[in-house]
Structure 1
């Protein structure tokens, strides 16, 4: 059985789509998933990447694209009232309902639905309180506590060290797969596709033409 670490941030619509598509994409395979929330902004900043929201035309395209993808994939997706929004409250809330920096699928899915299903303000205080009530039975820690904050830092640093530069991303056996459209490639790896033994490292030997 393969162990997969799924790095996600609730601010990413692609992470929501990927979370919903993962079981279908990996159907029939033997694996275990560990869900780890990370701060996407820190991953982008490390690589001087403004992200889609930092480029006006790309921001607009992204919102149109994910809305279309949601329809095509049968995944409910409605853009929240404001985007991007500060994801820290949701990241810490989720981690308070997990263990050792990881969360289970129920917590990940519940928080994602809070953001992406109703088209409301993700950080509205009343909605956050309702979300806490939904997750009450899962609560393990104080979301404002130092332990939760440290887990978020550690998860983000761990992702950076693994070579993760955005979300959604999956790490398995030291290999990182990125993006919703990376799911078929992840499936191929888990099935033991010989391509990975022959070609995976070849990309690292391509010389960069940038000065």
Structure 2
């Protein structure tokens, strides 16, 4: 059986962005597969009673400082988005649609959106900004919006989110190695260790 990391993610989480920058390297070094599973973090929060740490001002300030520490450790760019929090319903439906219908372009799609959010700090709450970002990365906004409104895509994202909740996910990023759950960009060393033990 091949070694796999199941990566439950939502674009709107800066901690998820940091994990996304590191997981491909970890998987390459451990000869493992990385399986991206888009979910809706808002749905997870609603079902579990959890909320973003940023709603508590002192905790939010600390979280952003800590994320910057990790960005420096990983040597990756990070700009805390001035428009945070971002409503990611449309974005995560788009991600799900691309994954289902254009898997060969999935990596380029999430690369562009993660970069827009957490490197460029763009306001992806605005449909016109989303359209501009998609165009810049070679995607047709109207075609992507058709996927966003596709009922099978909506159902797939909802199903992923429900499965995540059933498996014990309460936030993002959440990663599974087998049945072991690891939460947070600060737990990647444990993800790597679990892969090496398989």
Alignment partner, residue 5 of structure 2: 4
When normalised by structure 2's length, the TM-score is 0.85
Task: Please list every run of 5 or more consecutive structure 2 residues that lacks an aligned counterpart in the other structure.
Answer: none
Residues 1:29 and 1:93: Cα distance change in structure 2 (over 3 Å): same
- State how far apart, in whole Å, the 2-side matches of 1:161 and 1:65 are: 29
Whole-Å Cα distance in 2 between the matches of residues 94 and 23 of structure 1? 18
SS of structure 1 residue aligned to 2:18: helix
Report the counterpart of residue 113 of structure 1 in structure 2: 115
Aligned 1:155-174 pairs, distance under 5 A: 155-174=160-179
- 1:48 maps to 49
Distance 1:68-1:190 versus aligned 2 partners, 3 A rule: closer
Aligned pair count? Answer: 192
- Deviations along 1:36-85, whole A, 9 cap, x unmatched? 11111222222222221221211222222223322332111112221112
Q: What residue number does 2:60 align with?
A: 59
Deviation at 1:35, TM superposition (A): 0.7
Please report how far the alpha carbon of residue 27 of structure 1 lies from its aligned counterpart in structure 2 after TM superposition: 4.1
Q: Distance in 1 between matches of 2:138 and 2:158?
A: 22
Q: Is the 8 A contact 2:64 2:80 kept in 1?
A: yes
Q: Does 1:129 align with 2:140?
A: no
| 1:150-188 Cα deviation digits (max 9, x unpaired) | 111111011111111111111232221111121111111
Scaled by the length of structure 1, the TM-score of the pair is: 0.81
Aligned with 1:131: secondary structure? helix
The farther-off stretch of 77-86 and 40-49 is 40-49
Q: Name 1:196's counterpart in structure 2.
A: none
| 3-state SS in 2 of match to 1:99 | helix
Mapped partners of 2:166, 2:66: distance in 1: 30
3-state SS of the aligned residue for 1:30? coil
Q: SS where residue 110 of structure 2 aligns?
A: helix
Write the distance in 1 (CA, Å) between the matches of 2:36 and 2:109: 9
- Are 1:28 and 2:35 an aligned pair? no
- Which residue does 1:86 correspond to in 2? 87
- Say yes or no: does 1:144 pair with 2:145: no
Quote the residue 1:77 is aligned against: 78
Task: Give the unaligned 5+ runs of structure 1.
Answer: 194-211
In 2, the alpha carbon distance for the partners of 1:72 and 1:119 equals: 20
CA contact (8 A) 2:27 2:34 kept: no
SS of structure 1 residue aligned to 2:37: strand
- Preserved CA contact (<8 Å) 1:38 1:156: yes
CA gap of 1:32–1:25, structure 2 versus 1, over 3 A, is closer
Quick check: which one's helix share is greater?
A: 2
